[in-house]
Amino acid sequence: MIRLEGIEKTYRSGDLETPVLKNINLHISRGEYVALMGSSGTGKSTLMNILGCLDVPTKGRYELDGVDVVKLTDSELSLVRNEKIGFVFQQFHLLPKSDALTNVLLPLVYADSYPPNAKKRAESLLTLVGLRERMHYRPGQLSGGQRQRVAIARALINDPRIILADEPTGNLDKTSTVEIMELFDKLHGQGHTVIMVTHDEETAKRAHRVVEMSDGQLVSDRSREELDTEGK
Ligand SMILES: Nc1ncnc2c1ncn2[C@@H]1O[C@H](COP(=O)(O)OP(=O)(O)OP(=O)(O)O)[C@@H](O)[C@H]1O
Ligand SMILES: [Mg+2]
């Protein structure tokens, strides 16, 4: 489903070149639950942005469901993004003046496709994330964990198969972290492919595969079985 081959990303400013991703090769099948780990500045967010079609690599091939997305135009890319990918960020990126319901509906507004049942769908997603009673609260009236749950409902509005989450619990306390992680477990259980950046070993334990980055490269890729055997 996801196939990265020889992905490189280099930032240029003037004469200065910063190589950030170096020859990344990664295959992820449908329904996997992957944790992406590694110290700060190693390129995790850069890689997630490429996976999420928010950014393009300098070099290499990114095949998503058989399509080389590197070759797509910006508008084709945003179609792919809308159809297949839900993105959850560390900073929730909600519109402060809009209520939870409107925030969840936002991707549809951008996509220019507003199906007649959209509002019902947004309401049922907010119910799924446990915010049925808070639909008309604005972000400022919600806790951090609740805001992130709104952001997760928003990521699900187009029913994407892939959920990408870049440190979704980085700004949350322990209790909210557990709630959010249980929500991701549930989504994975429903058949979504989940790829999540985390610094937290406990959080990574929920994933079925842990991929580690160091200095722009993938340095380890282990399944849950391998990790459990090593831990014994
Ligand atoms: N626009 C840019 N121009 C130049 N360098 C950049 C740019 N964006 C990111 N970088 C560099 O790319 C490297 C990787 O950044 P990235 O955000 O992917 O790291 P990360 O692994 O997500 O780190 P963290 O755990 O702190 O979030 C960093 O060294 C950063 O300075
Ligand atoms: Mg990051």
* pLDDT value for 11: 94
Of 27, 160, 190, the residue nearest 81 (C-alpha): 160
**Whose alpha carbon is nearest atom 6 of ligand 1?**
11
193 lines ligand 1 (CB under 6 A): no
Type of residue found at 144:
G
42 lines ligand 1 (CB under 6 A): yes
Q: Are strands 59-64 and 2-13 parallel, antiparallel or unpaired?
A: antiparallel
Q: Decide whether any atom of ligand 1 lies within 6 Å of the 114 Cβ.
A: no
Distance from residue 38's CA to the centre of ligand 1 (Å): 12
* Helix and strand element counts for the chain (H, E): 8, 10
Mutate to test the pocket of ligand 1, among 9, 45, 87, 213 (most ligand atoms within 8 A of CB): 45
**Which domains does the chain show, CATH number per domain?**
2-231 (3.40.50.300)
* Closest listed residue to residue 168, CA positions, set 82, 225, 98, 89: 89
pLDDT of 113 higher than 90: no
The model's pTM is 0.94
Distance in angstroms (rounded) separating the CA atoms of residues 94 and 204: 26
pLDDT at 232 over 70: no
Report pLDDT digits (tens) over 7-37. Answer: 999 999 989 999 999 999 999 999 999 999 9
Average pLDDT over the chain, rounded to an integer: 93
Ligand 1 lined by 45 (C-beta under 6 Å): yes
How much is the pLDDT for 57?
95
Q: Which residues, including other chains, have CB under 8 Å from residue 205's CB and lie 6 or more apart?
A: none
Structure-derived torsion over alpha carbons of residues 28, 209, 189, 147, reported in degrees to the nearest 10: -90
- Count the neighbouring beta carbons within 10 Å of the beta carbon of residue 47: 29
The two structure tokens encoding residue 179: 């709630």
